[in-house]
Structure 1
Amino acid sequence: MNRCVMPALFSPSSLVILVFLVLGLSTYGASAEKNKYYHISTLCGQKIFHPLYKKIDGVVLTSDSEDDLKCVITFQTDSILQKFMLRFDHLALDCNDHLFVYDGDNAYGTHKAHLSCRSTRGNVGTIFTQSNFVTLKYLTDEWSKSGNGFKLVITAFKTSPVGCQDFQCLNTFCISEDLTCDNINHCGDNSDETSLALCP
């Protein structure tokens, strides 16, 4: 009597590998990090050709006298309906240090802003992206004087107050509720740090 034997689709070892693949893919689509504080030297290695990608709702990125840094970072919003707002709380670069801002997921093509020694908070103002990505390329020379660097607040927002499920700023921007009452002006008009946001 001939008995038909079905071959095993997965061996025990291949099942383990499959589980790890599924878990890895599920973390890839994870939600955005809420308000985070990063020093640029902890995010960037010395090689410019290995950019870092992070999905965020809000981040405070600081730089302080880094020597010989070549860094590319790309931030992405949690939703394609969001854009980024970039605002400097501190900006003091020397003429051999350059910060490029790109409206997109790479550091190629035309930059949105090129900041160096002639750039001040006043003349840079607030930078808005048109996409849900922003890429920063930061290049410094071999010697930086004390106090050289920046403090950059990056916030993901929606421009339309219609359908805002989170916090609506006075300027009608819609930002994550987790970015309120943290002593950081994410709205741009500081309304996320007032009684409007129920801050103590």
Structure 2
Amino acid sequence: MDKISMGIIVLMCLFASGVSSYAPVKYMNTNCGQSVYVISANRIQLDAYMVESMPRNCRVTIETSDISLDIHNTSSRIQFLHFNVPCDEGKVVLYGFMEGDGSYCNDNAPTKFLKSNSDLSMIAFDKYHTNSDYSASFELLVTETHNGDCGHLDFSCKNGGCINDVLLTCDGNNNCGDDSDEQAVACIWFLPVVITVPIVTVCGFIIVILLLKKKLRLRPRGKFTSRVS
């Protein structure tokens, strides 16, 4: 393998490690009447095919807790990544937020980040009966945050909030709400180690194997003679 190909592999590995996102998906239809526990970040998602089989009123409680377990004044910061809820199919209702409590459908979904009043908040989907196929869908990013002194596992956002350092900085999501966790300084000093280590390890094995194969190909071959009796 030539140097150019090797360089491309290394760059691909580094790129994959730097942009990996840690925000597991929780689905509305499987969490109706239950709590989603957020210690770093989660995505709450509703896909159109789920709507028909869902109960008419689906309520999901969001409970936040700091990963270090020694901070108790946590709250959630939410942002809609995608929103397509026709008003004749249903509405999304938010509870427990400083600004933004209310019902949303069509094009009136919140465009800014919303912060909850406490560690408890709720998102609901009220479904209307319709004779047509449902097309409603949305995706919500929920990030655990707290103010005050940031702990040793936290990243300090420019807006004064604290989020999980290792898992959320440089993951492609604006978890801080001011994009400071995705800016160059954060990405240089706070790479998501927990995610990158397995990726870099696998890439390292691949590179080592390729180097060994190259070395074996370059090794001089011995000359063998056969005896004929």
TM-score, normalisation: structure 1: 0.65
> Equivalent residue for 2:59?
72
Q: 1:144 to 1:158 in 2, by over 3 A?
A: farther
- Counterpart of 2:94 in structure 1 is 101
**Residue in 2 aligned with 1:43?**
31
Q: Over alpha carbons, which structure has the higher Rg?
A: 2
- The match for 2:36 among 34, 44, 54 is 54
Paired residues for 1:72-91 under 5 Å: 72-78=59-65, 79-91=71-83
Q: Structure 2 matches for 1:40-189, cutoff 5 A? A: 40-44=28-32, 51-57=33-39, 58-65=41-48, 66-67=51-52, 69=54, 70-78=57-65, 79-95=71-87, 96-103=89-96, 112-122=101-111, 125-142=112-129, 143-146=132-135, 148-160=136-148, 162-165=149-152, 166-177=154-165, 178-189=167-178
Stretches of 4+ moved more than 4 A in 1?
142-145
Q: Is the 8 A contact 2:82 2:138 kept in 1?
A: yes
- Tell me the percent identity: 22
Asked whether the 8 Å contact 1:91–1:119 carries over to 2, the reply is no
Flag structure 2 segments of 5+ consecutive residues without an equivalent. Answer: 1-21, 66-70, 192-229
Contact 1:63 1:150 in 2 (8 A): yes
Q: Deviations over 1:64-97 (max 9, x none)?
A: 2222533111111115311111111212211131
**Amino acid across the alignment from 1:153:** L
- Which residue identity lines up with residue 101 of structure 1 in the other structure? L
Q: 1:101 to 1:144 in 2, by over 3 A?
A: farther
The answer to whether the 8 Å contact 1:64/1:150 transfers is yes
Q: Secondary structure at the match of 2:176?
A: coil
Q: Kindly indicate whether the alpha-carbon contact (under 8 Å) linking 1:39 and 1:61 is maintained by their aligned counterparts in 2.
A: yes
Contact 2:94 2:101 in 1 (8 A): yes
Q: Hey, what's the Cα distance between the residues in 1 that align with 2:150 and 2:113?
A: 25
Residue 135 of structure 1: how far off its partner (Å): 1.1
Cα deviation code 1:1-41 (max 9, x no counterpart): xxxxxxxxxxxxxxxxxxxxxxxxxxxxxxxxx73222323
List runs of 5+ in structure 1 lacking aligned partners: 1-33, 45-50, 105-110
- Length, aligned pairs only: 151
